[in-house]
Amino acid sequence: MAPGVNEASRHSSDRVGRLARKVWRRLVARNLTAGDDYDRLDRFYAMEDPWELGSGREQSRFTQTNAAIQDRLGHVNSVLEIGCGEGHQSLHLARICDRVTGIDVSERAIVRARSRVPGAEFLVGDVANLSSSGRRFDLVVACEVLNYVKDIPATLARMSELGAACLVTFFCPSARIVAPHLVSIPLADRGWIGGDPYAWLYVFWRTEPSPGQRMDVT
C-alpha cells in the first residue's frame, strides 16, 4: 500500500476514534460535575483514554504544567497526583521528580497507569481516605479534577495537609465551580496554561516556607 494511502487511513482512524470518545463522554460523563460519582467514573474508563489525553493539546498542557512547577520548585523529590487517571500526566511528572504517587477512584484507570508508568506508585481510592501515616509530599497536584469533587474545600485542605506545596489546574469553563474556593488561599501564585482557543488556569501555593521565605502576613 502506498505511503499516502497509509497516512490517509491513519488520519481516518484518528477521526473515528476522536468521534467515538466524544460520543462516549456525552453518554457517560454527563452531569458528573461535583458529583463524587465514583462508579460512573470507573465505567467511563471502559474506553481507553476517554479524555483524549494523548492528544497534542493535552500533551502541551502537561509540558507547560511541568514548566510552571520547575519555575517554582526546580526538581522535586516526591509528587502526589490526585485524579491521576490512566497516568498520562504522571508520565510527564515523572520527568521532573524522583517519585510519583498517583491516586484515582477508577480501578480500570489505575491498571493502565501502572502499565504506562511502571516506576510510579498508583493507588485506587479517594484522597480524603488516603492513609498517609505521617507521610508528606513535596508537591500535591490536582489537575482537571476539582470540578468533579463534591466537597472542594475539604479536598484543598487535604492537599495542604499532605503537601509542602500544592498545584491546582482547571479548564476555563470550570472556573465558576473551582475558582471561588481558591481565592482565599494566602500567598497563592496564579497563572495561565495553554493558548488560543484553549486555556487553563493554575493556582500554586506553599504550606511550608521555601528557604528565605517569610510566611507571616502583616
Q: Is the pLDDT of residue 191 over 70?
A: yes
For 57, 177, 200, the CA distances from 196, given in Å and listed in that order, are: 11, 22, 10
Residues 6+ apart with CB under 8 A from 103: 80, 81, 82, 83, 84, 122, 123, 124, 125, 126, 127, 130
For residues 44 and 191, the model is more confident at: 191
pTM of the predicted model as reported, rounded to 2 decimal places:
0.83
Distance CA 102, CA 87 (A): 8
Query: What angle is formed at CA 208 by the lines to CA 203 and CA 214, rounded to 5 degrees?
Result: 95
Q: What is the pLDDT of residue 35?
A: 55
Q: What is the pLDDT of residue 33?
A: 60
Q: What is the pLDDT of residue 16?
A: 47
For 113, 166, 173, 184, 187, the CA distances from 203, given in Å and listed in that order, are: 25, 8, 16, 11, 10
Question: If you average pLDDT over residues 162-182, what whole number do you get?
Answer: 95
Q: Show the domains of the chain with their CATH numbers.
A: 3-44 (no CATH), 56-206 (3.40.50.150)
Question: If you average pLDDT over residues 176-190, what whole number do you get?
Answer: 94
Question: If you average pLDDT over residues 68-74, what whole number do you get?
Answer: 97
Q: Is the pLDDT of residue 25 over 90?
A: no
State what percent of residues in the chain have pLDDT above 70.
78
CB 143 within 8 A of CB 65: yes
Q: How confident is the model at residue 24 (pLDDT cuts 50, 70, 90)?
A: very low
Q: What is the pLDDT of residue 215?
A: 36
| Mean pLDDT for all residues in the chain | 84
